[in-house]
């Protein structure tokens, strides 16, 4: 689960990376492509 709310899937992770409001994670400005790349990298690990 991502932030205890969303199933751990690349699409959900990318969306969360772009908008993590309501959580302790700070907001980081990034493009959709950057969020997709980060999510893909994290899911490969």
- Predicted TM-score (pTM) of this structure: 0.85
For 3-34, the pLDDT digits (tens) are 999 999 999 999 999 999 899 999 899 999 99
Can you give the pLDDT at residue 6?
A: 94
Calculate mean pLDDT across residues 29-45.
Answer: 95
Return the pLDDT at 45.
Answer: 86
The reported pLDDT for the residue numbered 17 is 95
| Cα–Cα distance measured from residue 45 to residue 32, given in angstroms and rounded to the nearest whole number | 20
Helices 32-44, 10-18: inter-axial angle, 10-degree rounding: 130
CA proximity to 27, closest of 35, 10, 4: 35
pLDDT at 27: 86
Q: Of 14, 7, 9, which is closest to residue 34 (Cα–Cα)?
A: 14
């Amino acid at each position: 689960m991502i932030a205890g709310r969303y199933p751990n899937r690349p699409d959900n992770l990318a969306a969360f990376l772009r908008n993590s409001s309501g959580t302790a994670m700070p907001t980081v400005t990034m493009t959709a492509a950057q969020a997709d790349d980060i999510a893909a990298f994290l899911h490969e690990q």
